[in-house]
Amino acid sequence: MKQIQIGGLVSFTTIDYPGKLAAVLFLKGCPLQCEYCSNSHLIAVEEGEYDPDKVFDWLRNRIGKLEAVVFSGGEALMQADTTIEYMKQVKDLGFKIGLHTNGFYPDLLKKTTDIVDWVGLDFKATKQRYKDLTKIDIAYDRMIESLKYWVSCGRGLEVRTTCDPRFVSKNDLLEIAKIASDMGVKNFAVQKYTPYHEDEDKKTTPSQREQFFNDEELRKKLESMFESVVWRNS
């Protein structure tokens, strides 16, 4: 078994696993090339900066202080069985396991059913705009397959959309929300786009980025579709 490649670590967070004190492991590798990616340094699968054995020892010392460990990225499942085996080992320490995923690997997600307790799944855009954002033809269909499967499991789930106005309009957001709601999603999150890097000809303005959060009619429509809607305006 290859060693897991860990490119980053957050030692304490209250926002990455709902209702739990958690640590986050950022794994190397992602198949997508999203323009707004905040972790572009994690896209390539290469040697990680963190020794996985030392990270595991550190987690063992956090038993009783942390409640959960979230596997993020990059795309955590790109390292396939290496990630899943490490998840098992961490779960055996007594932690809840969270997964942040773009849904690109539905077959691997199915293998985590008895390991992962909660998933935060990115629904990035409408089908018509998905390739524009991710640069991958099959990304949307794979995400939908992952979403359908995880909903059918009845385990913890949040679907979230980062509202980059270059790729998502208000109507797009409503379309995304309706698809998710019709599939049985209960928890939805609207996330503000942060311009980490933008080409000169594709710059966005603060008002464009804020429009999703300042529209009361939009807010009411979305909140009528789900048991819970989280507005991440920061």
CA distance 89 to 113: 15
Domain assignment of residue 96, yes or no: yes
Residue range of the domain that includes 44: 6-232
Domain assignment of residue 197, yes or no: yes
Helix residue ranges, H only, 123-223 = 127-134, 139-153, 170-182, 206-210, 216-223
The answer to whether 98 and 17 are in contact (CB under 8 A) is: yes
Considering its fold, how many domains does the chain have in total?
1
Q: What is the DSSP letter of 41?
A: G
Joined together, the tokens standing for residue 123 give 């629904």
CA distance 206 to 208: 5
| DSSP calls for 9-32 | EEEEESSSSTTS-EEEEEES--S-
Domain assignment of residue 216, yes or no: yes
The answer to whether 21 and 14 are in contact (CB under 8 A) is: yes
pLDDT of residue 47: 82
Domain assignment of residue 16, yes or no: yes
Question: Tens of pLDDT along the chain (234 residues)?
Answer: 579 999 999 999 999 999 999 999 999 999 998 988 777 777 777 888 899 999 999 999 999 999 999 999 999 999 999 999 999 999 999 999 999 999 999 999 999 999 999 999 999 999 999 999 999 999 999 999 999 999 999 999 999 999 999 999 999 999 999 999 999 999 999 999 988 776 777 789 999 999 999 999 999 999 999 999 999 998
Q: In what order do the strands lie in the sheet with 22-27?
A: 6-13, 22-27, 68-72, 96-101, 118-122, 156-163, 187-192, 228-232
Predicted structure pTM score: 0.95
Domain assignment of residue 31, yes or no: yes
Residue 94's contacts (CB-CB under 8 Å, 6 or more residues apart) are 63
CATH code assigned at 199: 3.20.20.70
Domain assignment of residue 1, yes or no: no
Residue 200, judged by CB atoms within 10 A of its CB (0-12, 13-18, 19+), counts as exposed
Per-residue model confidence as pLDDT tens digits over 107-156: 999 999 999 999 999 999 999 999 999 999 999 999 999 999 999 999 99
